[in-house]
Chains A and B, each alone.
Chain A
Amino acid sequence: MARPRPEPMQVVKQRRDAALTALVEGVPYIRFLNITFDRRGDELTGVLNFDEKLIGNPFLPAIHGGVTAAFLEVTAVITLSWEHMFPRIESGEIGAEDILTDENIRFPKTIDFTVDYLRSGLPRDAYARAFINRSGRRYASVRVEAWQDNHAKLFAQGTGHFLMPQPPTKP
């Protein structure tokens, strides 16, 4: 049997980018910190766009430890949500509009999150990538790395556990 013709690249890109934008820009706090995401296929990189209001120590200056923790956590939750939803985004089952409005689409909830501060965060952009250690039916474990100029020199890393959204119980 002939393989179906692959979708045009623009269609694939448009669908994925629209879904990711909905996932990220629907959250006021992510806009407050001005965190954006770069996407390569299904791989995401969180970008913390530097601003003076992210400073925690004005004398060094350095990024606030709480901002670093929040940046790692946001990257973990978005990556986990993205990977969880990706098959349904690809099949067309859920679109950008559904992510914003459908009450049945829920997101993972943080149970706990631990951050190791390895270096002080310099007053410039930071990047983070999350790795899903395990994503089960109920719980997920995620590790996140964050760096600035040099990817080999992490300035923070984190590990968190998340409660996965449960499918609606059938009557």
Chain B
Amino acid sequence: MVDKTVLARQFIEAIPHAKALGLDLTHIGEGEAEISMPYNEQLIGDPRTGVIHGGAVSAMLDTCCGAAVMSHPSAPGGTATIDLRIDYMRAATPGQSIRTRATCYHITRNVAFVRATATDDDSDRPVATASGAFTVEGR
């Protein structure tokens, strides 16, 4: 299982877009993943307030969900998103990192079901939540 965790981490770190966003995989294993993204002025959606664009949060949530799937004990290899729904609860506070936590709560031979939450420093009030279905692919 350790090998898989190392492999998954290397896989995430090899994703060019994850690198462009400055994503940091802080935890992975057993169908769960946590990713952190530092505040970055290039990702601002509203220049008047400095709030990060929802699209950047979506990209983070998608990456986090994919990592959770790959780390699941029943997932043999890679994954791709089938569908993803994001609900935006509030604007992330400018200047703060955003953290996402994803759980692969059910997996079949072909499909993995995942939920994720994004928060900033105020971890009691989610910034966004996601739920999606992902493919389960052989290695």
Contacts and interface: CB of A to CB of B under 8 A. Distances in A.
A29 B83 CA distance: 23
Nearest to A73: B55
B6 interface: no
Interface of B: 14-20, 41-48, 52-56, 58-63, 66, 78, 80-88
Contacts of B63: 56, 64, 66
B15 A55 contact: yes
A64 B55 contact: no
Nearest to A58: B14
A65 B132 CA distance: 12
B16 A58 contact: yes
Interface SS of chain A: mixed
Given A55-B16, A70-B59, A117 B54 contact: no
Sorted nearest first, the 8 A-B pairs with minimum C-beta distance are A66-B59, A70-B55, A29-B53, A66-B62, A64-B17, A53-B20, A65-B81, A114-B85
Interface in A48-88: 52-58, 62, 64-67, 69-71, 73-74
Contacts of A74: 53, 55
Contacts of B20: 32, 53-54
Contacts of B47: 26-28
B86 A70 contact: no
A115 interface: yes
A22 to B, nearest CB: 11
